[in-house]
Amino acid sequence: MRVVVVGAVVAVVAEAVVAARQRKVTLGKSELPRLGVGLGYRDAVRTDVFRNANQIDFLEITADHFFDPKPESNELLKLLASRFPLIPHGLGLSLGSADGLDRGYLNMLKRVVETVQPAWWSEHISFCRVGGIDIGHLTALPKTKATLRCLKENIRVATSEIGAPLILENITQSIEYENDTFDEASFLGEVLNENNCGLLLDVTNLYINSINYRFDAVQVLNRLPRDRIVQLHFVGFDREGDLLIDGHSHATNLEIWQLLEEVVRYAPVCGAILERDEQLPPFSDILTELANMREIMNRDFVET
Amino acid sequence: MESEKDQLLRLQTYVAKRLTDSTDSSIPEDANPVLPGNSTLPVNSPSDEDLARSRETLIRKRISQTRHHMPLTAETLGSRFGPLFRQYAERNHVNGKNAIVRDSLLFAEWLNRREVADTAAQDECVQMAIQLATWETMGFACKSRSLCIRFVRLGWDFGSWSDRTKLPKKRRTWWCVLRVLGFRRMVRLY
């Protein structure tokens, strides 16, 4: 009798541990906090960010900028974390690399995520390093089953190391492969569903790709898994002839605002980040953009 | 028979090489460690036009990042900064950690090379920028560990960054001693 009771208790505890582990890495959008509207943190706006902290709901930090184990870097990270909810955003994990992840990079990323204890962390669906070559740029992946398998393996390794939920970002596509099996929407859907990850939908990238590769952005949006869209990125684009460029250097264009409205109407999100890197305007302009986005998010939340 | 993963690896390596190498678009034999000697185009490779466009985006990104690190040089060169950097970037790609820092240092060195200086000799503005670039990148390097590493590797003879000689043992020892003793400022002065 005693053996049976002990066995049952062990089974229940084991089940609870497994469930807790799964919860740790499983993305349940409804369980994630609603962070609001924030800004991609850059050193150039440090003073303004603290001065206007009451108008910025959260910050997205580029994890790579905090890999340096210098005390100053750690102090800044702790200072930011003490004032804002932080979301680490990776640039160089290269989740799509066919030769696997760089363990050194993964460990540094893990250290930053563990320091920040974020609600989630994000990376790109792309590759930037392969066969010892560092491209220095997020490069599009072929949309094939082989890529899906490769992503699955790399994401498994990354999420087994880093406990916080992972969300994946769509990139600006500058190359198109000859014999892709999937289109943009179905590829994103497959990646997210197969790996149980959320989507960091870069609305500007979606719009740029739709113009450069001539598809309807709203149609693609409507085919994305609604409950997986967790966070948004937005910023203005550059125009060069017929092509649009993701320069992170312009105020958000009207077309992007319109698409943002569509996105939020389609899928209420937990957060949105303005990604401005270049040609920084007066900070009041940035705050105005954040207020506009907040208004869109609130409006559509009320309607839905 | 090439496995699915090998095919993907070869395709990615091909794309990476095309985006980072300017002059040679063929696949070198050692481009893929998995498949030595395979020089056929990978399955599903993107078009030359797409690769060229992507490469252009990459160079433009490097121009923009280097501008931040060499603001005086960029300002002095004005609209000539981009084309000059492009000439440099056509033949140079920097890999790995601190790539932007090393890109700026290499660009300053490239500007300083005799053949570039000669072609621009008649232009005072470019001449001034060449001097500024050297000063600016040295100043920049002083703030980071790059100059220390550079000193350890090359000594006072500031040759090309890529001319990596064997570490001079004596200088390395001094550098380590100074660091251990906490003479950070002295290390930085090097």
Contact A87/A121 with Cβ under 8 angstroms? yes
Here the tokens at position B99 are: 């790539």
Q: What is the pLDDT of residue B32?
A: 43
| Mean pLDDT over each residue of chain A, to the nearest integer | 89
* A187 dihedral zone (left: phi>0; alpha: psi -120 to 50; beta): alpha
Residue B106 identity:
L
- Any CB–CB contact under 8 A between A142 and chain B? yes
- pLDDT under 50 in chain B at which residues? 22-37, 141-144, 150-167, 185-190
Q: What is the pLDDT of residue B35?
A: 43
- Any CB–CB contact under 8 A between A194 and chain B? no
Residue whose pair of structure tokens reads 């705050």 in the numeric block: A287
Q: What is the pLDDT of residue B58?
A: 86
Rounded to a whole number of angstroms, the distance from the CA of A39 to the nearest CA of chain B is: 20
Tell how many helices (H) and how many strands (E) occur in chain A. 10, 12
Q: What is the pLDDT of residue A285?
A: 96
Mean pLDDT of A256-262: 96
In what helix (H) or strand (E) does residue B185 lie, and over which residues does it extend? helix B184-189
Chain B interface, best mutation among A151, A175, A239, A245, by max B CB count within 10 A: A175
Chain A segment 40-69 residues within 8 A of B by beta carbon are: none
Would the CB atoms of A146 and B8 count as touching at under 8 Å? yes
The CATH classification of domain A2-303, taken from the options 2.60.40.10, 3.20.20.150, 3.20.10.10, 1.10.1060.10: 3.20.20.150
* Half-sphere CA count of A45, side-chain side, radius 13 A: 26
Rounded to a whole number of angstroms, the distance from the CA of B98 to the nearest CA of chain A is: 11
Which one of A99, A139, A142 has the shortest CB-CB distance to B19?
A139
Percentage with pLDDT > 90 across chain A: 71
Q: Which residue has the higher pLDDT, B34 or A177?
A: A177
The per-residue pLDDT for range B1-35, each reduced to its tens digit, is: 668 888 899 999 999 988 887 444 444 444 444 44
Minimal Cα distance from A244: which residue of B? Answer: B57
- Any CB–CB contact under 8 A between A278 and chain B? yes
CA torsion sign, B35 to B40 to B46 to B49?
Answer: positive
Mean pLDDT of A65-76: 84
DSSP letter string, A27-96: --GGGS---EEEEE--GGGHHHHHHTGGG---EEEEGGGG-S--HHHHHHHHHHHHHS-EEEE-SS--TT
Measured distance CA(B143)–CA(B146) in Å, rounded: 8
Rounded to a whole number of angstroms, the distance from the CA of B145 to the nearest CA of chain A is: 12
Confidence band, pLDDT 50/70/90 cuts, at residue A286? very high
Would the CB atoms of B45 and A131 count as touching at under 8 Å? no
- Any CB–CB contact under 8 A between A130 and chain B? yes
Q: How many residues make up chain A in this entry? A: 304
Is the pTM value of this prediction over 0.80? no
Q: What is the pLDDT of residue A97?
A: 96
Residues of A in contact with B5 (CB under 8 A): 98, 146, 149-150
**Domain boundaries defined on chain A:** 2-303
Q: How many residues make up chain B in this entry? A: 190
Report which of A210, A207, A240, A130 is spatially closest to residue B60, judged by C-alpha positions. A240
Q: What is the pLDDT of residue A23?
A: 41
Q: What is the pLDDT of residue A225?
A: 95
3-state SS of A127-141? Answer: EEEECCEEEEEEECC
Phi, psi dihedrals of residue A225, rounded to the nearest 5°: -65, 110
Minimal Cα distance from B44: which residue of A? Answer: A178
Measured distance CA(A198)–CA(A166) in Å, rounded: 7
Residue A219, SS3 per DSSP:
helix
Q: What is the pLDDT of residue A282?
A: 94
Q: What is the pLDDT of residue B75?
A: 81
Residues of B in contact with A130 (CB under 8 A): 9, 12-13, 16
What is this model's ipTM?
0.85
Q: What is the pLDDT of residue A292?
A: 97
Phi, psi dihedrals of residue B20, rounded to the nearest 5°: -105, -25
Q: What is the pLDDT of residue B148?
A: 53
Residues of B in contact with A97 (CB under 8 A): 12
Query: Please, which residues bridge with residue A202 across strands?
Result: A233
Q: What is the pLDDT of residue B84?
A: 87
Would the CB atoms of A175 and B16 count as touching at under 8 Å? no
Would the CB atoms of A131 and B9 count as touching at under 8 Å? yes
